Every structure is written in C-alpha cells, then in structure tokens.
Structure 1
Amino acid sequence: MHWSSLTALALVAPSTALIRFGCSQLTVQRVDPLVNPGISPSPHLHQIIGGNAFNISMDPREDIGEKATCTTCQFSEDFSNYWTAVLFFRARNGSYHRVPQVPNIGFEGSNGGMTVYYMQDGLANYQQTSKVTAFKQGFRMLIGEASYRSKQQATRFRQITYTCLQDLGTRFPESMHFPTKPCPAGIMANVRFPTCWDGKNLDAPDHMSHMAYPESGTFESGGPCPASHPVRVPQLMYETIWDTSQFNEKEVWPEDGSQPFVWSMGDHTGFGSHGDYIFGWKGDSLQRAMDSACYVNCPTLKTQSVPAMNKCKYNEVLVDEPIDGWLDSIPGNPMEKMESK
C-alpha cells in the first residue's frame, strides 16, 4: 500500500487515535544508555532522535519530559528518545560508508531521522476502535536482538522488517532480511514493538520481559493480551528510510552479487535489526492524545515546524571518532571482532 492510501483513509476514519509524526536526527554516536548505560563507547553506532535530555546513562528516576529543553520531533511535547543501529554500505574494495537517512513523505526538509507511530490498532485496522494505556514516566523497552543472524532466531520478534522502496510511497511487500537487489528509492527499516504490558514494571533486566505480544491473533486483529501482561498499550512503530539508492551501481557491489549493506553491529543479514525506546512525553500529553480525536495529526498536541525540529541538537560529543566518508572499518570494528571469534 502507498502512503497516499493511508492519507485518503484519514478523511473517513473514526475519531480515535493513530498519530504519525516525523523526528529529525538528534545525534549519531556509539552510545546506548539502555543496554550499555554509562559506557563510552558502546559496542556499536546508533542514530538517535527525540529530546535533548539524552545522555550516556539516562537515569530512570529523571523525568526527561521535564528536563529536556527541545525535541527533534514534530509534536513538541514529546521528549522521548528513540534509536536504532546505523546502516553501512560495504564496497567491493572492502571500505565502508555510512548510509544517509532521508525524511518520509510529509516531512520534507527534516534532517533525516525517523517517522514514529503510536497506534491503537495498527495500520491493518484503520478503524482504530480500541482503548490503550499510554506509557508512564520512566518506561523503557527494547525490541530485537543485535546478535541474531538467522531467520529462525529473528522469528522470536514479530514485524521487524524491511521494505525495498520503488518510490517513497512503497509500503509492501516486507521481508525479515535485507533486500537482495538494488532498491530504487532506498530501504525502509520497520520496527514494531510489542503491545501488552505487565502493568507493573517500567523496565526489565533484558528491557523486554515486561512486554509481550497478544496471546493469540495480532495487535491488528485485536488479539487479547496474556494474563501475565494484561495492559494494552499503543503499538509503537519506527520507519527509517535509508538512502541506499546512491550505492546501487552493481560495479561496486560484491563480485558474487550478494547484498552489500551491513548494520553497525556487523550484521549482513538484517536479522539483527533492533530498536530502543525511552518514554519522555510531557505530563499526560500522550494519554490525552490516545483518548482524543487524533488521526495522523492531533489537535490536542502542540506541534512545531520542521526548521524548529532541525534546530534542536545534542551537541555533546561523547565518542570522538570518524563516522562519515569512506572508512576502513565500521566504528567499533564489529566485523573484526566477529572474525576473531
């Protein structure tokens, strides 16, 4: 389905909540305050969006919705931080180049970043008839496993996928592995989080076990949450468009024709894709949005312009290392570490 179809449906959809918004880039560094708090540098490079209260440790006792002074997101009450790994292109000569991000349709002019969704029923159900409980201050979660390299492993997680873009409106089909052929308009990486919460823990040692998938069916089909995780929360989804089109000449791809893209943790398969989230909406703004007549946009939330999104920066350089231009290795040398095992 193309994004234009979703836009058209917005005109007829019931007045319950699905919000979609763009966020410009905040910083790209080898930092991971969720999995590796206080460690500099973290094992692999991440691209981060959201509020400028982001830091190396992200103390869960701090309310980042109050601490932050700006956000790279369209809804200016959202000071959450969202991040994923970074995509690299590996040329035939063995050198690497970071793949730039481009904005989604509707957010032209933003400095890369991602598109974020909070949904009551998922994109497959445009009716959006359910009620959900918004995340709480201090809440955080992770989906995906950076070390996974097989489809069998990755099936543990639902709907972490890729779309080979024929144009910026392409949404289907999706695959669990990297596209194997050049994609005319780039590769979209899709990350969808679980939607059932245990109702007690704001985090877990693995940053996952306080969350669960519906015990039957799917979020989109209205599948019930398991008794262990009875609280239905919004479906959080990231879309990141990586502009791989500038690396589509087959002459620079590997001689055997295999796909040349690799995540910053050294994953050539795509099965190691993952996303991190730390909640930071100000006050009860997210719950108000989920309870309101919001569809794509939301009149109950304050918005800011694209230039204002781009202006918000996290200027602290926590890890001073080259990440742009042609590099002999990916920051942190994940490929070398894998080969030495």
Structure 2
Amino acid sequence: MQPDATNDNSWRGIMRINCDLSHSGYNDPIVYPGQKDAAHLHRFYGNTLLDENSDIASLFTSGESSCQGNTLNRSAYWVPALLAPLYDPQTSQRLTDESGDPAWQIVPAVVGGDDEAHEIFYYSAGVDDLSSIQPIPLGLKMIAGSHMGMPGMEQDTSIVRWHCQSWESSDATNPRWSASIPECTAPDRLRMDIFFPSCWNGTDLDSADHKSHLAYPVNTGGPNGTVCPASHPVPIIRVSFHYAYGVKPEVYDPQSRSSRGWRFASDMYEVSTTTPGGMSLHGDWFNAWHPEALQAVLDGCIRQRLDCHDGNLANGYRLTGTRPGSQNDVPIVNKGMGY
C-alpha cells in the first residue's frame, strides 16, 4: 500500500510508528547515568533493557524493542508518568497510601496494540528544504521541554502542550493548546505533544545540559522559509511524541468526571483545582535506530512528502508490529518525584 501525500498546511512529510509500554522506573540514563533510582518516575518505550547504565553500545547491540521494527529500532523513548488521585470506587473518598499520604495511580496512555493503533512517535520534517535533512546520528541524546516548568514559568506550547481531544486542536486552523493539564471530561481523551529540536551543531551527540548541541528551526519570513540557525546548521529528522490518555471511571475525578487533579511525576509544585498539573511536561530520546532503516524513513516518507502510517516505509516494506514489554508496576514514591 502506497501512503498518501501529506495535506497542505500540515506535515511536510512524516512517518508514524506505534510502540507499546516497555517498563517503568526511576532511572534516567541521560540526566543521571549510572545512578539507580535517581530520577522521577518514568514510563519507557522502545528498548526493553534500558536502565541507568545504558549507553549507545548497549542500546544498539542488546535488547529488543516494544516499537514497530523491533531490533531495527532499539531507540529509547521516555516521559514522566501521568498520575491521578486514587479514590475509593464505592464511596469516592480520597485514599491514602501506607505512609498516610494521599495515594496516586498511573494513568495509562493509549499506546501500542496493533489492533487499536494509536501512533505516538512521529518522524517528520522540521525545515522547508526537505533535501537538506540528514538522518539523526546514531547515539544522539536529546530532551524536549523542561522539568522546571511551573506556575509563572509556563512553557512554550509550540514545543510542549496539552489539549483535550474534543478541542480538535490544529496548528493550521485551531491552535487551542494549554501549558497545563486541562479538565477533559469523560469520555474525552487528554492529549499531549512534545516536539524535539531538529537542528544539530554537527559535532556533539550530547551536551552538559543535554540541549545545547541542538536547536529549533527558525522561520526567516523570506524565500527560504523555515531553516536551521547558523549556530546549529545541520537539519535532522524531527522527532515528536504524541500521547492520548483516556478519561475513564477508574482514573477520573469522581465529582467532575474529568482529569481534574492529574499531575505529571516531574511536577515540583502543589497541584490543586486552581493550579493544574502538567507544567513540567518534557520527554527524552536516545537514538539507536539501525542507520539503514532510519535512512529509509527519510528517503521514502519524509523527502517524498508522504503521510506514512503504521510502519509503512513507502518502498514496498513495512516495519514489524509492536511487542509488549514487561509493563512492570513500581511503587509511586513521593507523588512520583522519586526517592
């Protein structure tokens, strides 16, 4: 099946893949390499063996992947866990944990599952000159968004954002976005988008702040359109995460039947009805794609301005389906902020 061309005022060229949840934990091999349980609670996708000791050699040569393509895509993708207050299903009373503190539960994302595909990882074009885009170098680490986002320090919704699916938000026609988690009412879904930088300095696979080696494209307003800045001249494939969370009875606020009170595990401020959670929205990505497979994504889908779904490489081949990870449950410690 040949993918359709992208629509005007939409993605320039794109490949969307499904991933299933791999595992959960308090590790972060980018920010806290070698330090076990040093981070807030994360949900990991992709490489099934990712832990605090993972590096490019271990990612590229070991483990399977919960994403389409399996060992062709051993990359690691992770985000903080989304948490909801835990209520008694019979009385709707707020429950407490073993320490007597308010209890929390994980809100699962609608991901993986080839029978109900929900594309959550996109590879697309960030600049207008598609011929200039290069594959992402093997081993590149990057972070989009900031764990420091909080009231008074809201993040730019062109980089990270929340919205209710019923809003039918669109960059082209209806740019209705929120820097914090809105109250989406059942049976709606809460959506989040994270756009990673797609301009590289051409030298470094990482930097001290895990961001300075990359930059976002700029719109020149002239004939060249959107380009990379001179400080980061190499356009690479743009990575973005797109998740949906079902507002269901087992996780919604029983009074409003909404996402009221939900928080991100990285939120370092008190979440309340007047101060919604999610302002610390961010994500991490560590590239371990097989170079030939990622080149096929670039050549077949992005440069050809095609809308490739479900692992279709637009060259007669399709990536294999998702596989489940361990999907382990770990304790929610300190509102998900960790040990």
What TM-score do you get using the length of structure 1 for normalisation? 0.75
- Which aligned runs of 4 or more in structure 1 are off by greater than 6 angstroms? none
Inter-partner Cα distance in structure 2 for 1:140 and 1:160: 18
Q: How far is the alpha carbon of 1:252 from its aligned partner?
A: 6.9
1:322 aligned onto 2:337: no
Count, aligned residues: 300
Inter-partner Cα distance in structure 2 for 1:63 and 1:222: 39
> What is the one-letter code of the residue matched to 2:68?
Q
CA contact (8 A) 1:87 1:262 kept: yes
From the superposition, tell whether residues 285 and 181 of structure 1 become closer, same or farther in structure 2 (CA, over 3 Å): closer
1:31 aligned onto 2:40: no
Q: How far is the alpha carbon of 1:22 from its aligned partner?
A: 0.6
Unaligned runs of 5+ in 2: 87-92, 95-101, 272-276
What CA RMSD, in Å, does the superposition of the two structures yield over aligned residues?
Answer: 3.5
User: Could you tell me which residue of structure 2 aligns to residue 304 of structure 1?
Assistant: 320
> What is the one-letter code of the residue matched to 1:322?
P
> What is the one-letter code of the residue matched to 1:310?
R
User: Could you tell me which residue of structure 2 aligns to residue 281 of structure 1?
Assistant: 289
Deviations 1:149-178 (A, max 9, x none): 0364423x73201120239x8766322221
Unaligned runs of 5+ in 1: 1-6, 335-341
Higher deviation after alignment, 22-31 or 86-95? 86-95
CA contact (8 A) 1:184 1:245 kept: yes
CA contact (8 A) 1:38 1:56 kept: yes
1:55 aligned onto 2:51: yes
Report 1:134-153 matches (<5 A): 134-150=135-151, 152-153=153-154
Report 1:161-200 matches (<5 A): 161-166=161-166, 173-182=176-185, 184-200=187-203
Q: How far is the alpha carbon of 1:17 from its aligned partner?
A: 4.3
Of the three residues 205, 208, 220, the one matched with 1:205 is 208
From the superposition, tell whether residues 53 and 333 of structure 1 become closer, same or farther in structure 2 (CA, over 3 Å): closer
CA contact (8 A) 2:267 2:279 kept: no
> What is the one-letter code of the residue matched to 1:75?
G
Report 1:60-79 matches (<5 A): 60=56, 62=57, 64-65=59-60, 67-76=61-70, 77-79=72-74
Report 1:118-157 matches (<5 A): 118-121=123-126, 129-150=130-151, 152-155=153-156
1:295 aligned onto 2:287: no
> What is the one-letter code of the residue matched to 1:304?
T
1:251 aligned onto 2:263: no
From the superposition, tell whether residues 43 and 283 of structure 1 become closer, same or farther in structure 2 (CA, over 3 Å): closer
Inter-partner Cα distance in structure 2 for 1:226 and 1:10: 26
> What is the one-letter code of the residue matched to 1:83?
W
> What is the one-letter code of the residue matched to 1:298?
L
Deviations 1:236-262 (A, max 9, x none): 110111223333454278xxx993111
Q: Residue 330 of structure 1 aligns to a residue in which SS?
A: helix
Of the three residues 75, 80, 105, the one matched with 2:75 is 80
Inter-partner Cα distance in structure 2 for 1:182 and 1:130: 43
1:101 aligned onto 2:109: yes
Inter-partner Cα distance in structure 1 for 2:134 and 2:240: 16
Report 1:233-272 matches (<5 A): 233-246=236-249, 247-251=251-255, 259-266=260-267, 268=271, 269-272=277-280
From the superposition, tell whether residues 90 and 129 of structure 1 become closer, same or farther in structure 2 (CA, over 3 Å): same
Q: How far is the alpha carbon of 1:192 from its aligned partner?
A: 0.4
Q: Residue 47 of structure 1 aligns to a residue in which SS?
A: strand
From the superposition, tell whether residues 206 and 82 of structure 1 become closer, same or farther in structure 2 (CA, over 3 Å): same
1:90 aligned onto 2:98: no
Q: Residue 297 of structure 2 aligns to a residue in which SS?
A: helix
CA contact (8 A) 2:19 2:45 kept: yes
Deviations 1:54-91 (A, max 9, x none): 2222224x1623x1342111133111011101101125
Deviations 1:260-304 (A, max 9, x none): 111112354322000100001113321232022453121445511
What TM-score do you get using the length of structure 2 for normalisation? 0.76
Q: Residue 245 of structure 1 aligns to a residue in which SS?
A: coil
Q: Residue 20 of structure 1 aligns to a residue in which SS?
A: strand
CA contact (8 A) 2:4 2:307 kept: no
> What is the one-letter code of the residue matched to 2:115?
E
Deviations 1:296-320 (A, max 9, x none): 1214455113xxx234x358x8xx8
Q: How far is the alpha carbon of 1:136 from its aligned partner?
A: 1.0
Q: How far is the alpha carbon of 1:8 from its aligned partner?
A: 6.8
